[in-house]
Structure formats: C-alpha cells, structure tokens
Homo-oligomer: A and B are copies of this chain.
Amino acid sequence: MGTKSPGIWPIPAGTRDYLPGEARRRRQLENQLAELFESQGFEEVITPTLEFFETMAVEMGEELENQLYRLFDRDGRLLVLRSDMTTPIARLVATRMRHLALPLRLFYLSNVFRYESPQAGRMREFGQAGVELVGQPESSADAEIIALSVKALHRVGLEDFQVSLGQIPVFNAIMDEVRLPENVVRLIKGAIARKDLVGLEQTLDAHRVAGGQKELILEFSDLQGGREVLGRAKSMVNGDYARQAIDRLEEVFDHLGDLGVEESVQLDLGLLRDFDYYTGIVFEGYTTDLGFTICGGGRYDNLLEKFGYPCPAIGFALGLDRLLLARANQRDR
C-alpha cells in the first residue's frame, strides 16, 4: 500500500492508545488490585479474548447481545469478542475447575469489548478488574464481595465514593404483584435501571398502570437511603418471597457493619443492573469525581447451571479506565 499523510491513520471509535505514563499508571493500578485480591485469598485466571457466540450469549439480554463484536472463524462458526468476564469464568469453572473444592475465589484483569454507541465515558474496548466468589450462597458471601469492592476503591486511592445496593428479587416480587405483560415489565425495568422517572411514568400511563399499582412502582423505584428504607420496603410488599429478599438485605447490612464498611454503602432498591444473569443482590459504585459508575456486580446463582454445573456465585468488576479518570479528577479537584 502507498504512503498516506499522517492525519488519516485513525484507530477504531471507542478504542484508545496509552502513551508512556498512561500505560505505566494502568499497569500500576492493575498490580495494586492484583495484590489486594491475592491478599484476600483470590487467585487470578485468564480466558481467551475470543469465545464462541453460544458461550458468551448463554444468559444475555437482547441489548447486550446486540453489542457483541462478531466474526466467523474459518469453519463458519460464530465467534465474539468477550463482552464481560463473568460468563467466560463461569464457563471455565463449570468445565475445567468443577472438580475443585468450593468455594473458589477468582480474580481477573482483562479487556472486554462492547459495541456501544459512542458517548462520553463509553469505550468499546475497556479494561476490567474483577472477582468472582463461586460456591457460597450465604449473605456473608454477599457482604464479603461488597466489602472487597469498597476496599478496592480505597486501595486505588479514591476518597469520595459510595456503593449502592439493590436486590433483584424485590423488584421481581413487586412485578409479580402488579401482574403486567412481560414486555411492559421489561420497559419498566429499563426505565428504572436508567433512573428515567419521566420515561417510567410515561410507560406506566401508556400501559394503563394506575392507582395503587402506579404508586407502588414509582415509590419502589425511588427507595434510596440507609437501613430505614428496609422498613418502608417491607410495608410495600406481600408474600414470603419478597419479605425474605428484604431480610437478606438486612443480613447483608449487618455483615457490612461487622466488616466496617457500612458507611460506604447505601440502599437503592431501584438499582437494576443490565445483565440478565443477576438473581439476587446487585450493587454499583459511584464517585463524585466522575459521572459514571466505576464498579458493578451482583449475585448470579443460575449462570453456572447453564454450563452444566449448578452453583451459586457473586462477583463484581471495576472499570480500569474510569478508575484512572476518577483518580485524575480527584487530584485536580
């Protein structure tokens, strides 16, 4: 090919180069997190950048499936660039690690790929550091993982952050009570997940959800705060299933207190993460130094079963570029 002028050698949208200094800070960040995770008994695993489509999509909503980078191998099989690490690690645990004694404490430092529409803070290739705790269904495991996310944010030097805690079964219980068609539930879930209260009301009105049902959903979507929120939540739901889900949150909160991180955590029952595999507690971390979430995770007790190994699990991932950005913003404050 001929020589071109320098301006026309771009890189694909949503990807980035790391110049000297930037790359060093990223390596240091990775090593800080690797050391922390190892000190807490977690062991690193690495999986391939490419997975077969049927592996990656085993438990994935339509929206995320649409964001997969796809390519065909030379035998005509559909490959994808991994879009998160939880599913590949579930595949790995369910196949090559199923003979090992539980629980397994695993961590990773890997790049993932999502074909997102370009907007501030949304990269299409981005680094994640994360952990998975496999084989422990107890609330103490929930608390261990949430507390580890708090420790990780402290470890990398962030000062001013908050972790919000939601509980998928409470939302499911309320949806069971109001008995709406599945497509409407999906719209409601999407609006609540996006914190789009205007869109939520419009959706409810458009589908003639009115009166007490509308009130219930609107109030639920905005249930945020400390322990006191749990009392209000309990008064809103009927049935053992929903009450147990709220009791579970209370237990987790007690453990978090024992672990000394309760003050970094608040409840947000309207927190619904956009991965279909979550079945219980979900959580996200925020900092005032950045307009996006810097970490997210939750319990996924059914994902490993999809790979033939029924086993509860919980984990989280931190966004490495976002951590670097938040830390830089903090310094500039």
Closest to A91 in B: B9
Task: Give the docked Cα–Cα distance between A23 and B110 (Å).
Answer: 12
Contact B17 A92 (CB under 8 A): yes
Binds B, one of A94-102, A228-236, A250-258: A94-102
Contact B1 A21 (CB under 8 A): no
Contact A95 B31 (CB under 8 A): no
Q: Give A6-22 interface residues, CB cut-off 8 Å to B.
A: 6-7, 9-13, 15-22
Binds B, one of A146-154, A208-216, A241-249, A304-312: A304-312
Q: Chain B residues near A106: list those with CB within 8 A.
A: 20
Contact B96 A17 (CB under 8 A): yes
Contact A48 B94 (CB under 8 A): no
Q: Chain B residues near A70: list those with CB within 8 A.
A: 71
Residue total for A at the interface (Cβ-Cβ under 8 A): 65
Contact A125 B23 (CB under 8 A): no
Could you say which of B12, B306, B309 contacts A51, with CB atoms under 8 Å apart?
Answer: B12
Copies in the assembly, this chain: 2
| A50 at the binding interface (Cβ < 8 Å) | yes
Q: Give A26-78 interface residues, CB cut-off 8 Å to B.
A: 26-27, 31, 34, 43-52, 54-55, 57-59, 69-71, 73-74, 77
Q: Chain B residues near A6: list those with CB within 8 A.
A: 94-95, 98, 307-309
Q: Chain B residues near A23: list those with CB within 8 A.
A: 43-46
Most buried by B among A31, A48, A111: A48
Task: Give the docked Cα–Cα distance between A307 and B17 (Å).
Answer: 16
Most buried by B among A5, A13, A23, A77: A23
| A197 at the binding interface (Cβ < 8 Å) | no
Could you say which of B9, B21, B113 contacts A49, with CB atoms under 8 Å apart?
Answer: B113
Contact B51 A3 (CB under 8 A): no
Task: Give the docked Cα–Cα distance between A6 and B43 (Å).
Answer: 23
23 A-B residue pairs with Cβ-Cβ distance under 8 Å, sorted by A, are A3-B305, A3-B308, A7-B95, A9-B94, A9-B95, A9-B307, A11-B48, A11-B50, A11-B52, A11-B55, A11-B91, A15-B50, A17-B96, A21-B43, A23-B45, A24-B43, A24-B44, A26-B46, A27-B44, A48-B125, A49-B81, A49-B113, A50-B69
